[in-house]
Chain A
Amino acid sequence: MRKAVLPSLIIFVTVAILARLFYLQILDDEYKLKSENNAIKIVYEYPERGYIYDRNGKLLVANQPSYDIMVVPREIKNLDTLKFCELVDITKEEFDKKLKKAIVYSPRLPSVFLPQLNKREYAAFQEKIRKFEGFYIQKRSLRDYQVSVGANVFGFITQVNPAIIEKNPYYKSGDLIGKQGVEEQYEEFLRGRKGVKYIQRDKFNRDIGPYKEGIFDTISKQGDDITLTLDIDIQKYGEELMQNKRGGIVAIEPRTGEILALISAPTYDPALLVGRQRSKNYTELYNDSIAKPLYDRGLLAEYPPGSPFKILTALIGLQEEVIDEQTTFFCRRGFSYGNRFMKCHDSGGFSLNAGIYSSCNTYFANTYKRIIEKYPKPAYGVDAWSNHLKSFGLGNFMGYDLPPGRRGNVPTSKLYDKYYSAGGWKSTTIISNSIGQGEVLMTPIQLCNVMCAVANQGYYYTPHVIKKIKNHTIDKKFTTRHQTTIDKQYFPPVIQGMFDVYNKGTASRLQVEGIEICGKTGTAENFTKINGQRVQLTDHSIFVAFAPKDNPKIAIAVFVENGYWGARIAGPIASLMIEKYLKGKITRTDLEKKILNSSLESEYAKVLSGQPFRINL
C-alpha cells in the first residue's frame, strides 16, 4: 500500500493537470480572444467611398477628408485634460462625458472621442498629439455634395450604432455606414473594403512588427462609383417647383423603369448631414413632425389616387369587355345608386373618350358597376378587378432599390366581407373605388409606375435608381419586363382620352408647344383627425402624365397635398417637368412663374391653427 502512494499521487495530479489544460486550451475560447486583444493591434485603413454620378455623368457626390480623434481609454496616461479641452474646444464636462462613454464601450478598444474635425482643427491637434497618450487620429472620408438637392435619394452617412456592430462584424465602433437612400442600398459597393493591418505588440503596447510577417493583412479596396438614373437637372427643377408645398413627384423613363426624378417636399440640403453638426441637424430634421423633411413622400405617402385611377377603371372595363370605345353613359350631374348619389361636375352623354378627358364620375361609376356585376357574385368581381390592379404592381412593395416603401392598398373581397359581413355588400356599396376615392391607396411611385405601364401599352419595368455600378452589373430584376393583365389593344383608346385631356379636357390650359402630352388630372378628397374628429381638408392636387404620346420618354406622377384641383398645381408642375426634361428649357414661363410663387403654407397652417376653417378656396 505504501508503495502505491507516490505513484497514485503522480497519476492523480497529472490527470488533473491534463484535464485542466484540455479545458483551457481546447474547450474555452476566452483566452484566444484575450490573447488577440492583448498582443495584436488592428489598424484599419479606410478606403474612399465610391462617387455618385447622375445619368448624364454629372458628379453628384464626392468625398472630403475628415479626421476623428480616437481614444483607447486604457492607454491614457498623464493627460493634461485642461490643455486637451482647450485645444479641441470642449468643456471639461463634455470631456468627462465622452470619456465615460468610451469606457463603457470598451476600455481596450478604440472609440471615437471627437468626430469629424475640419482641417484646421486637425492641424492644431496633430501638432500636439504626442502629448496625449491614448489618443490618436483616424482619417476617414466624408461626403462632399456637389449639389444641394436629392437628399432623399442619396441618404446620408452616419456612424454605426452598437446594434449594427453586433450584427455585422465588418463594422467597428466609429466606422461610417450609409443610411437611407442609395447610401444604404448600395453600401456594400460604395464603402469598398477597409484594409486591415495586424501589428504585434509587447506588454508595453509598443509595436514590435507585423503579426506573422503580415500574412493576414489586407489592403483597402476603393469603393465602387455608382451612376444613378436620376437626371439631376429635372430633380433640381422639381425641388424648386415644390418649394412651399408638400407632396411628391416621381418621374420614370417608361422604356426602362429608370427613375429620372424622385422628389419629396419639403426636403433638406444633403450637406446638412455632414460633419460635426450632423447630429444636431439630424435631430432637428427628425423632430420636425409637421413638415417631416426626412419622410420621403414619393415613396412612403399613401394617397387615394383620385381621378387618375379612372384610367385603370377604363382599362379593366375594356379588358373585361363590359364596355367598348363606343359605350356611352348618360350623366345627370351625378350617378344615382340606391338612395345615394355620386356628384359629377358635368352632364350629358359621354363616350369613353369624353369620359376620360372630362373626368366624368358617372361614366366610371357605371363601368365599375358593370365590371363587378359581370360576375355571379360581387366578391368574384372585386377579386378579378384587384388581380388586374395587382398586375400593375399595386398593393405590394415594388422592389425598387431604395430602402423605404409602402404597399399601398388594393382591396379584395376578403376586406369587404370583413367590413360589411359576407354577402352584405354589392357593387354600389364600393362604388367610390371607380374614381379612386375608395379603399385604394397608392404611393406616388406606384402611380407613376401605372403611367409607365400605360405608356408602354401593357408592361413595365421595376422602377430603380441604379444605372451602373463600376465593376459590377446591376440586379437582373431591373431589366425584367412585367406584363400587366391588360391586352395591348385596349390601351390606344385610353391613351387617346388622356391625350385629349390636354387637347380639350381638364388640362387644356397646360399644353406645351411641340410636345404631345397624355395626362390625367386628379382631385382627391382627404381627411385628417383634429382632436379625434374627422375633418375634411382641402383636396389633394394630383396629376399623372407621360410624353411624347407616340414614343414616351417620361412618365410622371405629381401629388401636391391640399393643392385643390388637379390642374391647379400638380398639372402645371407635371407639364413643366416634362418640358424641362424633353426640351431642356421652359417656354411656359407663365406656368413656371405661377408655380414658383404659389405657396400652400397658409393651407397647412389651417390645420394647426386650432380655429375652424374653410376648405377648397
Chain B
Amino acid sequence: MKNQSVTSNLDWITVLLYFILVVMGWLNIFSTSIPIEFIEFDFSDFYGKQLLFIILSIPIIIVVLTIDAKVYEKFSFVFYIIGIVSLLGLFVFGKTVKGQTNWYGFGSFGLQPSEFVKTATSLLIAKFLSDSQVFLKNTRHQLIAFGIILLPVFLILMQPDAGSAMIFLSLILVLNREGLPEWYLWTGFIAIVLFFMALLIQPIYILIGIIVIMIFHYLRARRVDRNPLAYLIVFVAATSFVLSVGFVFDNVLEPHQKDRINVLFSDDVDLKNEGYNLNQSMIAIGSGGLIGKGFMEGTQTKGGFVPEQHSDYIFTTVGEEWGFMGSTVVILLFVTLFLRIIYLAEQQKTKFSRVYGYCVASILFTHYFVNITMLIKLFPTIGVPLPFISYGGSSLWSFTILLFIFLKLDANKVNEW
C-alpha cells in the first residue's frame, strides 16, 4: 500500500532549497534596509515586511499542498480567466508607480497580478498540451498555445512592464520540450543574436557572415536538401531583419530601453544618469572580492549607492557582502533547484504535471538569468525580481505558489496511473 500523505511524498530537497534561498534573501534584505543605528525591529521597514511575507507564505504553502491536485488541472482555465481579468482590472483600479500601472494597492501593501498570472498561464499551457488530441506539429495548436501565452504578454506590455512580459516568452522552452518544431527556438535564438550584432557592427559585415554560413551549409547539405528557394527565403528574412534593427532601435524602443542597451555596449556613458545603476551595481559586486566584506559590512550597501537594492538589485548585496564564495553558493543553490525541478518533471506520470514542472523551471530560470546578468553587464537592464531572494510579497508568494503547486503535483504522482 502506498503512503498517500502529502508530507511523506513531498520532495523535501526542493523544500529545503526553497527555505535556504528565502532565508538568505531575507538576510540580505535586512542588511540593505536596516539603518546604521539599529534600535528596534521595525515591521514597516523592508526587512520587517519581508519577514511578514515569509511567515504568511507558510499558510499559503499549506493551503496549496492541501488542495486536491486535480483542482489545478480542472480549474486551470478558470485561474487563467481570473488572471486575465485581474490584468484588465489594472487599467481601471491599478496604481501607477514610476509610469507602470501594475499594482493593486491595499493600504501599505500592494499586489502585482502579473506575478500570479505566470502560474495561471503555466497551468493552462500544461492543461492544453496534456490533451491527447493536441500536437504541436499542428499549426492550429501552435497558434492556440501561442495565444495562451501572448494574451497576458500583450496586457502586461500595455502596463507597460516589458520585464514581466519577457518572462512569459520563456515558456517557448516548454513548448520546445513538448514537440514544437525546433526552428522556432532557433529562429528566436538567431534573431536575438542578430539583433545585438546589428547594434554592434556594420550590417554589411553581418550580411557577409550570413552568406558565408549559408554557403558552408549548402556545401555540406545533402543534395536533396539543397532547396534554393529555402536559402533565398532565409537570406531575405535575415537581411531584412538585420536592416530593420536600426529602425526598430531608433523608433520603436523607448528612450530608457535604448539607454539600457547603450550602457551595455558602450563605455562612454554618463555614470551619473543612464549609466549610474549599472556602474554602482558593478562596483558593489566587484568590490566584494573572494569572501566579501562581511554581513552588514558592505560599504556600498550601507551607503545606499545601489538603487532598488532590496528588490531587483538584491544580488549586489550578496556580491558585496558575501563575495565570490557567497555568490557562488547562492547561484549553485538556484541551479540545483532548477535541475531538481526538471528531474522531477521528467519523472512525472502525467503530461500535465510534466509540462507544468517545465513551466516552473523555465520561469524561475528566466528570472534568475535576466536578474543576475543585468547586474554584471552581460545583459541589458530589465527589471525582474530574483525569485525567493528579492523583496516583495507578490513575487515571493507567487513564486511560492508556482513552486508548491508543482510539489503538490509531484507528491501526488504516486496516485496517478
Chain A residues within CB distance 8 Å of chain B: 2-3, 5-7, 9-11, 13-14, 16-18, 20-22, 24-26, 28, 30-32, 34-36, 38-40, 200-203, 208-209, 211-212
Contacts and interface: CB of A to CB of B under 8 A. Distances in A.
B324 A35 contact: no
Interface in B271-289: 280, 282-289
B305 A203 contact: yes
B254 to A, nearest CB: 26
A285 to B, nearest CB: 45
26 contacts: A2-B182, A6-B177, A6-B362, A6-B365, A10-B335, A13-B365, A13-B369, A16-B378, A17-B331, A17-B373, A21-B331, A24-B285, A25-B323, A26-B289, A26-B324, A31-B283, A31-B286, A34-B283, A35-B284, A38-B305, A39-B300, A39-B303, A200-B302, A202-B303, A208-B302, A208-B303
Contact of A203 (B290, B303, B331, B376): B303
B342 A38 contact: no
Contacts of B358: 6
B303 A2 contact: no
A4 B334 CA distance: 18
B373 A6 contact: no
B328 A34 contact: no
Contacts of A22: 324
Ranked nearest first, the 8 interchain pairs of A and B with the lowest CB-CB distance are A31-B286, A35-B287, A39-B299, A24-B286, A202-B303, A25-B324, A39-B303, A203-B305
Contacts of A212: 297
Given A5-B173, A202-B303, 14 more contacts: A6-B362, A10-B335, A13-B369, A17-B373, A25-B290, A25-B324, A31-B286, A34-B283, A35-B283, A35-B284, A38-B280, A39-B300, A39-B305, A40-B299
B327 A21 contact: yes
B338 interface: yes
Contacts of B355: none
Contact of B328 (A6, A18, A208): A18
Contact of B283 (A38, A208, A209): A38
Contact of A14 (B36, B304, B335): B335
B287 A32 contact: yes
Contacts of B362: 6
A486 B369 CA distance: 87
Contacts of B173: 5-6, 9
B385 interface: no
A444 B338 CA distance: 86
Contacts of B290: 25-26
A39 B282 CA distance: 14
Contacts of B378: 16-17, 20
A122 B328 CA distance: 54
Nearest to B299: A39
Contact of B372 (A5, A11, A17): A17
Contacts of A203: 303-305
A469 B59 CA distance: 76
A209 B302 CA distance: 11
Contacts of B335: 10-11, 14
A213 to B, nearest CB: 10
A21 B288 CA distance: 10
Contacts of A211: 299
B361 interface: yes
A35 B286 contact: yes
Contacts of A202: 302-305
B289 A32 contact: yes
B276 to A, nearest CB: 9
B319 interface: yes
B346 interface: yes
Given A6-B173, A13-B373, A17-B378, A25 B342 contact: no
B365 A18 contact: no
Residue from B286, B288, B378 with most neighbouring chain A CB atoms (10 Å): B286
Nearest to A30: B286
Contact of A10 (B286, B289, B338): B338
A398 B413 CA distance: 95
Contact of A18 (B282, B299, B302, B331): B331
Contact of A25 (B36, B286, B305, B338): B286
Interface string B170-186: 00010011010010010
B191 interface: no
Nearest to A28: B286
A117 to B, nearest CB: 32
Nearest to B346: A3
A118 to B, nearest CB: 37
B339 interface: yes
A405 B338 CA distance: 75
Given A6-B177, A10-B339, A24 B303 contact: no
A40 B300 CA distance: 9
Interface string B288-327: 1110000001011011110000000000000110011001
B372 A34 contact: no
Nearest to A204: B304
Contacts of B280: 38
B176 A5 contact: yes
B339 to A, nearest CB: 6
Contacts of A200: 299, 302-303
B25 to A, nearest CB: 18
A209 B303 CA distance: 10
Nearest to A16: B378
A570 B299 CA distance: 69
Residue from B182, B303, B323, B365 with most neighbouring chain A CB atoms (10 Å): B303
Contacts of A16: 373, 378
Contacts of A26: 289-290, 324
Contact of B300 (A7, A35, A209): A35
Contact of A34 (B179, B287, B338): B287
Contacts of A38: 280, 283, 299-300, 303, 305
Given A6-B173, A17-B376, A25-B319, A31 B331 contact: no
Contacts of B365: 6, 9-10, 13
Nearest to B368: A13
A10 B364 CA distance: 11
Residue from A31, A40, A203, A211 with most neighbouring chain B CB atoms (10 Å): A31
A5 B185 contact: yes
Nearest to B271: A34
Interface string B29-43: 000000010000000
Contacts of A2: 176-177, 179, 182
Contacts of B305: 38-39, 202-203
A209 B185 CA distance: 53
A13 B323 CA distance: 19
Interface in B180-202: 182, 185
A21 B287 contact: no
Interface in B342-400: 342, 346, 358, 361-362, 365, 369, 372-373, 376-378
Nearest to A11: B335
Residue from B320, B361, B372 with most neighbouring chain A CB atoms (10 Å): B372
Contact of A201 (B283, B303, B327, B373): B303
Nearest to A33: B287
A17 B299 CA distance: 23
Nearest to B325: A25
A459 to B, nearest CB: 60
Contact of B282 (A24, A40, A201, A208): A24
A7 B338 CA distance: 8
A21 B328 contact: yes
A21 to B, nearest CB: 5
A25 B297 CA distance: 16
B354 to A, nearest CB: 10
A6 B342 contact: yes
Nearest to A208: B36
Nearest to A37: B283
A38 B176 CA distance: 46
B324 A209 contact: no
B244 to A, nearest CB: 27
